[in-house]
Homo-oligomer: A and B are copies of this chain.
Amino acid sequence: MEVSSRYVVTKAHIDGAPKESDFELKSESISLLLDSGSNDVIVKNLFVSIDPYQLNRMKSQSSSQIYSTLAAAINPGEAIDAYGVAKVLVSGNPEFQKDDLVVGFITWGDYSVIKPGAMLRKLDPMGFPLSHHVGILGFSGLTAYVGFFEVCKPKKGEKVFVSAASGSVGNLVGQYAKLFGCYVVGSAGSTEKVQILKEKLGFDDAFNYKEESDLKATLRRYFPDGIDIYFDNVGAEMQEAAIANMNVFGRVAVCGVISEYTDSGRKATPDMIDIVYRRIKIQGFLVTDFLNVYADFISTTCDHLRAGKMHTLEDISTGVESIPSSLIGLFSGHNIGKKMVQLAYSPIDIEV
């Protein structure tokens, strides 16, 4: 028996902002009969994550591609791996059985053939929608959790600024920070997003950066007593402005620098004299270095969700053909919250 699987590939390396014509849909037949001795697992993809970092992997060269699987080059014409939730159809791996739900690295396509050694584990949905396991209970949530608690090492009452605050990670950082007892301000790119941050997610304040001409002055207004923690998702001028408003012993967690992904000439020039005198720490991090915190993260976050103390922001498109536009939209701020694509239309496919 065979299934026909459509999957997204890039046609060539992408060095600026991505556009529809950079991608194409390919199709392949996947046999559901495994060769004897095969340890492959064939899964039906249910939800896949759409993340800005994927664009870095599509570039013709990145000096950091050797440093992490999250940075590993995506070769034109080849299937693209991404975090997601799937259902096992056939398994040659004793760890997995038919109909198991799994989470981990699958592909931007209808089906995935998972080789032994890939990051994949059985998923117990614990009563939460599957989409939550891609977003708030997935790598986005873990990134926010470890970035805030492990990298920023917050203290109660500290002043926290989050950029791209309605994005997949930013909205959760703000929520964790509020629950922890910090004062939190977020920046986002529309009035609607600002409203969501303040009214739905409980940020102390938020602003639309597109309406501000002098970000240093803006942040001085929102943080008259200075910023202790800046959770950086955007880089460039926003980082400079945040550092200019930082308090002594301030910390910058560099999670992503989305404004620099599509324009390699755009860079932050933080004031190093401020960094010395204020003893500021700027630290880049990747979620994959903190998998040891996973159990903590899951129990804390599930508790918050069940108690109604955290809210999810999910932005779900459907169908493999919507993957390219979903990725493209990230770079013009189309998404509100966690962007993902649902790949199974029938409720039966995703019935738990």
**Chain A: residues with CB nearer than 8 A to chain B?**
56, 62-65, 67-68, 70-71, 232, 235, 239, 244, 248, 254-257, 260-261, 267-286, 289
Contact = CB atoms under 8 A, between A and B. Distances in A.
A307 to B, nearest CB: 33
Q: Which interface residue of A235, A260, A275, A276 has the most chain B CB atoms within 10 A?
A: A276
Contact of A63 (B244, B257, B261, B286): B244
Contacts of A281: 281-284
28 contacts: A56-B277, A63-B271, A63-B274, A64-B278, A67-B248, A68-B248, A68-B277, A70-B277, A239-B272, A254-B272, A254-B275, A254-B276, A256-B276, A257-B272, A257-B273, A257-B276, A261-B273, A267-B270, A267-B271, A267-B272, A268-B272, A275-B284, A277-B284, A279-B284, A279-B285, A279-B289, A281-B282, A282-B283
A274 B56 CA distance: 11
A91 to B, nearest CB: 33
Given A271-B267, A281-B283, A276 B255 contact: yes
A270 to B, nearest CB: 8
A235 B274 CA distance: 12
A284 B248 CA distance: 10
A281 B281 CA distance: 7
Contact of A276 (B271, B275, B277, B285): B285
A184 B348 CA distance: 62
A345 to B, nearest CB: 36
A314 to B, nearest CB: 24
A137 to B, nearest CB: 23
A65 B275 CA distance: 12
Given A281-B281, A285-B279, A273 B239 contact: no
Nearest to A249: B289
A277 B280 CA distance: 20
A277 B67 contact: yes
B67 A273 contact: no
Contact of A278 (B67, B260, B279): B67
A284 B280 contact: yes
Closest 5 CB pairs of A and B: A64-B277, A275-B284, A276-B284, A267-B269, A257-B272
A272 B255 contact: no
